[in-house]
Amino acid sequence: MSPLRMLARPLLAAVFIRDAAHALRHPDEHVARLRRFEEAAEPTLEKVSARVPDKVTDKLPSLPSNLRMLARVHGGIMLAAGVCLAIGKAPRTSAAVLAATALPPALVNHPVRTRADRKENLGELMTRLGLIAGLFYATQDRAGQPSLAWRFGSWRDDRRAAHAAESAE
């Protein structure tokens, strides 16, 4: 493993590990933020549900009733994926799981709906989105190894060249 990867992966994962540990230890703070988001989004959801047929709205997911458990489960998933990324076990998969689980909290915890929210939260939201972009980049990191598509194409080209050489003889 290159020194850059050895340093970058744990540093990238550290932010998410810290957030996950906080969610596990203090789930009530996360639940409070989620409730504020739910209350702010309720008028918009009511407008949308008024225009959408009932058979569609019945199939839409809703938040579980036990938000405290949801916060802890989410924290546990992020903690496991963050530790795996930091130690280099399944780093691409770990980065993908972290990216998928980190995006919703970034949007919930740093709303930019009003001018006051934008002024207060835009910088932190952009930082979080930059970290998530780094995770998406880490999902593509093959540590110098070519992709399976490239390997297959190279193998196919070698086979064609071998067949062409055999037929020329």
Give me the domain span that covers residue 12. Answer: 3-168
**pLDDT of amino acid 39:** 74
Q: What's the N-to-C CA distance of the chain in angstroms?
A: 44
What confidence tens digit (pLDDT) does each residue in 84-137 have? 999 989 999 999 999 999 998 888 888 787 788 888 888 888 999 999 999 988
* Averaged pLDDT for residues 63-88: 88
How confident is residue 11, by pLDDT bands cut at 50, 70 and 90?
very high
Q: How far is CA 128 from the centre of its chain?
A: 11
What confidence tens digit (pLDDT) does each residue in 147-156 have? 778 888 889 9
Cα 139 to Cα 102: distance, rounded to the nearest angstrom: 14
Domain count, the chain: 1
Q: Tell me which amino acid residue 103 is.
A: L
**pLDDT of amino acid 94:** 94
27-51 vs 3-25: helix crossing angle, rounded to 10: 90
pLDDT at residue 60 tops 90 = no
Q: What is the pTM of this model?
A: 0.70
**What region does 140 belong to: left with phi over 0, alpha with psi -120 to 50, or beta?**
alpha
